Structure 1
Amino acid sequence: MAEDSIEWNVPLISSSFLPCDRDAILSIQLPLVPQSARLAWSGVYSVRNGYRMLQGTSPTDNLLISYYRRLWSLKCPAKVRIALWKCSRNLIPTMSNLFYRRISNAPTCPKCNQFPESVLHFSRDCFYAANIWSTLNVHWPADIDQANFLEWLYLLFLNIKHFSNEVIAYTIWSLWHARNKWIHDKIWQRIEELITFVRGYDYEFRSLEVMLSHPNTSGSVIWSRPPLDWVKVNTDASFPQNPTSSFTGMVVRNDTGAVQGATYRVVTSSPSPFFTEALAVLHGLLFAQDLGFRKIILESDSKTVISKVLSTEEDLSEIRSVTWSIKSLAAGFESCMFQFVPREGNRTAHTLAQAARTAGEDRFWVEDAPEEVLAVAETDRKLSEPP
């Protein structure tokens, strides 16, 4: 660092390091006020990290990880995922398992009465299951007949493209229930009935998921006005798909919802989106300070950044220098509050940060903003009007 200032000594760094290392060093955000040196890193050590390092991984471990990751990410009821997990671990009461535990007199399949009933038998090899899969046009290579249930199901997940993995899960789950109906109630479910049930169940669950993902907007989060004589600063960050730069957007509004100022800034060499979100908060404070406001509420839709700013514990993460500057700057206001707001309540700042992508340079407005931002701010103002 340069002597007597909080700036990087660019000539010294450029002459001492390779270009890639130089750029990495210069991308580190320095605090606005002096602070003692600290060792910091971008993560938190956990027992899990150490356990994984000591255990290492093998090809089998990688298969299990990939399989269970796909299994638990299925968009279906939890009871279906749990049933498949039990099948994968051979934890369901097939006749073979009951016979092994001396609960049943014979391991024979109750549907075909020919072969021992294992997990693979009821779900794949029994004539009833084989007819179901054939009707669904699901086939697999003969050379995997010796594979276990987990390997066979993972192969289906990877290779069946004409319907979803959820349909495969529903089919196996339904095969087990059809088997139980026959054992306990002597009801033989026809193949057409089972396939109709599987397809109907999949359709109903997907329809319900769509309804839940698009709830009634009457209960959505809206922007709220600050108290009298206060201003609210909303901040957001924007990240292009192939980022060489990222962008921050900040909007200041008063207790009537009127825009008092807006600005966006270009951020070069940010190490992560998390870091840029923190910079947006810092830029918002600096902008409010430049406009001369003394009582502010700052809102961001990054819950992690707001938690870091509000925390009394020492921050050793990659944004330490930014959170230090935020706290130091906040102390200079008469009153300064930080709040998390869901994205729905931060639309104006989001629109401004998106607009920064096309401009590609820093800009600011006093009692004004780009037209598209003013339109969103006006909607916020109307929605926030008292009844």
Structure 2
Amino acid sequence: MFLAKFYRSHYRNQRTRTFKSGGANRQEFFGKLWNLQLPSKITIIIWRISWNCIPTLGNLRHRRIATNASWPRDYGEENCHHIFRQCPISTEVWQLLNLSLITNIMHQNFLEWLPIVFKQGTNEQCRYFCYTLWLLWYSRNQLLHERVHSTGKDLAQQVQNHMAEHEWIRAKKILSNTVHNQIIGEDLPIMKIQFDVAFDRRDFRSASGLVVWGTTNEYLASKSILHSNIASPFAAKAYAGLEAIKLGIKMGFQEIQILGDSLTVIKKCQSTATDYSVIGAIIRDIQSKKSSFQKIEFKHILKTKNMRAHNIAKEALQRSERAYIEHEETIQHNMGAAAQWARNPD
């Protein structure tokens, strides 16, 4: 639970500071990130790195979870700048990969560095960049928790191997999707967010449950939000739909499908006419945010197909606690290792 609170609090603080200074470059960065078609585990890690909300020892010490923030490779303070740019192993990896685009702008502030690389780099260079960041973080965890040491040469070779495998899988998937869509006449898959609610009639509270799915229907994240003074379950459903769109904007999606089991709310979201019903103000807010996406669809699904979002909302309402979780299996692994983070490295 303390790690979940760390992610929520640290993410909010970083988001506020970065949006004030980042602006359009970060919106471009997020859009390009989701369009690179990387494995979801890599996309999510890069997204978290871009907000500085990964559990580095420096971040954990700031949250008073760890007492020592020294990086065991060279005993500098462990933060994003040190892990990905300053550490001798990282420097060697960037040099071996011969990505001059990345090494030439190392003087930039770390949180500005990622959007600038994405702005100047080709899609292929950005994929190499993302794979390298992910592998540096993975090797960091191996060193800290398993005492597995990797050289810069080892990591550079692993990046190249991963990239070759990814390009082969990606080419095969594109061919498969092209054939599939030619046969059934459907659009290419896009990101999806399901929403549902839990409502308490005694005190007019509700909770929104959201589940994010990737382009190949892989689980990406889930979120719950608490609401008070909600007039009815009908209004609660509309608020949940609005929260789904807000989450899509924050995650930088360009194309998105919003899925809910309230047919009335979905139809109102699909409409472009001004809504004068009791939830009209919420629907107008939803409609005003459609321009944040290149493509947005609203789709009705059966209640039985929406149980994961409903259960997330129900649990949040019972506990009176909101949450944001990315890759459940990753969070569970991190929580299991939390005791190690809190101790000094051997």
Q: Which TM-score band applies after superposition, normalised by the shorter structure?
A: 0.3 to 0.5
TM-score under structure 1 length normalisation: 0.39
Higher RCO (Cα < 8 Å, 6 or more apart): 2
- More helix per residue: 2
Larger Rg: 1
TM-score under structure 2 length normalisation: 0.44
